[in-house]
Amino acid sequence: MNIRFFFLIHCLLLTFSSSCQKIGDNENILIVYLSRTNNTETLAKIIHSQVGGDIIALELQNPYPENYEAIVKQVSLELEKGFLPPLKTRIDRFEKYDLVFIGFPTWAMQLPPPVQSFLHQYDFTQKTIIPFNTNAGYGLGSSIDKIYELCPNSEIKKEFSMKGGKERDGIFLTIKGEKAKETEEKVKSWLFELGLNK
Ligand SMILES: Cc1cc2nc3c(=O)[nH]c(=O)nc-3n(C[C@H](O)[C@H](O)[C@H](O)COP(=O)(O)O)c2cc1C
């Protein structure tokens, strides 16, 4: 047996091991999300069930008020002033991730301040960002433009966005039961289009 034979076996083993990568072994994937009434969190968990990797919720050092009117007031002030609320969440060895899913609700038709803190705090150079979102039915507003602005050296893929809750009207988690099943199918097609299906 010569060196070429060993090289061939080595290549075959490499190909085999990468094509057999199991969900959960995707150490280069990170799913980060902000969620108050769990709609975006549900989406994050569906994505995680499909692509694996690490999943983590963004938490603040000083949590927002429970009261809806109070949070709306605080968030609009923060957005107006460009205030970046300090995060309690820490991500170890961020450099190991190539692909970062970022989930957030639309707040005041903008990217929520904690997500802006996150994008400021970590270096996304040469990483791929995949946004996902829930909203009360008014869409993404300026949030995607803001991600482009804050991450000029990243590849930003086509987002997934859907209607979630409407806290203003007392509607909280809606992505459950039949809607959760439908959402899972939609998420699968979106991931398929991105080439990230199982
Ligand atoms: C402070 C605040 C501001 C919001 N502003 C908007 C908005 O501008 N447009 C919109 O469609 N929904 C808005 N919403 C509704 C949320 O985007 C929607 O309920 C979302 O599904 C919540 O996601 P979550 O359950 O993951 O927290 C707002 C909610 C909050 C708490």
Q: What is the DSSP letter of 26?
A: -
Considering only residues 128 and 198, tell me which one the structure prediction assigns the higher pLDDT: 128
What's the CA gap between 192 and 178, in Å, rounded? 21
Considering only residues 128 and 20, tell me which one the structure prediction assigns the higher pLDDT: 128
Q: Which stretch of DSSP H or E encloses residue 169?
A: none
From ligand 1's centre to the CA of 126, what distance in Å?
A: 30
Q: Is the minimum distance from the CB of 71 to ligand 1 under 6 angstroms?
A: yes
Q: Report pLDDT for 197.
A: 73
Q: Kindly tell me if the per-residue pLDDT of 79 is higher than 70.
A: yes
Give the model's confidence band at 7: pLDDT under 50 very low, under 70 low, under 90 confident, else very high.
low
Q: Which two tokens stand for residue 186?
A: 């939609």
Of 152, 151, 100, which is closest to residue 130 (Cα–Cα)? 100
Domains of the chain in start order, with CATH, are 23-193 (3.40.50.360)
Q: Report pLDDT for 22.
A: 40
What's the CA gap between 191 and 74, in Å, rounded? 35
Q: Report pLDDT for 170.
A: 97
In this prediction, residues 86-92 reach a mean pLDDT of 97
Q: Which two tokens stand for residue 155?
A: 């590849």
pTM of this prediction exceeds 0.85: yes
Atom of ligand 1 lying closest to residue 109 CA: 8
